[in-house]
């Protein structure tokens, strides 16, 4: 967790950085936390993330023993497409 300082020097609220995946789904966006099983949606990418942040806050407030998984490694996988090569 990161502890941020306000300009006056008083500690601000703590923040937890979590990883989320955002997917377009028709005219909405779905944001899914990859470390806690919580998702939300919105009409824009930012709205989906804002709604996910609110949902995560509520979840963590009501689940004091929540299990937070390590952030997954995100990787690109290249898959060949098209016709298989002629093997004759």
| Domain boundaries, given as residue ranges, for the chain | 22-70
- What average pLDDT does this structure show over 50-73? 94
Average pLDDT score over the chain: 87
DSSP character for 83?
A: S
d(CA 73, CA 8): 37
d(CA 11, CA 56): 22
30 pLDDT above the threshold of 60: yes
pLDDT of 3-13, one tens digit each? 444 456 666 77
Rounded to whole angstroms, what are the CA distances from 35 to 16, 67, 75?
11, 8, 16
Whether the full predicted model's pTM is greater than 0.75, yes or no, is: no
């Amino acid at each position: 967790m990161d502890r941020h300082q306000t300009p006056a020097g008083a500690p601000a609220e703590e923040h937890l950085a979590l990883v989320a995946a955002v997917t377009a789904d028709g005219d909405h966006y779905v944001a899914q936390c990859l470390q806690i099983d919580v998702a939300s949606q919105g009409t824009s990418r930012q709205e989906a993330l804002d709604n996910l942040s609110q949902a995560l806050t509520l979840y963590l407030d009501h689940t004091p023993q929540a299990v937070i998984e390590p952030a997954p490694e995100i990787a690109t996988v290249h898959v060949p497409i098209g016709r298989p090569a002629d093997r004759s």
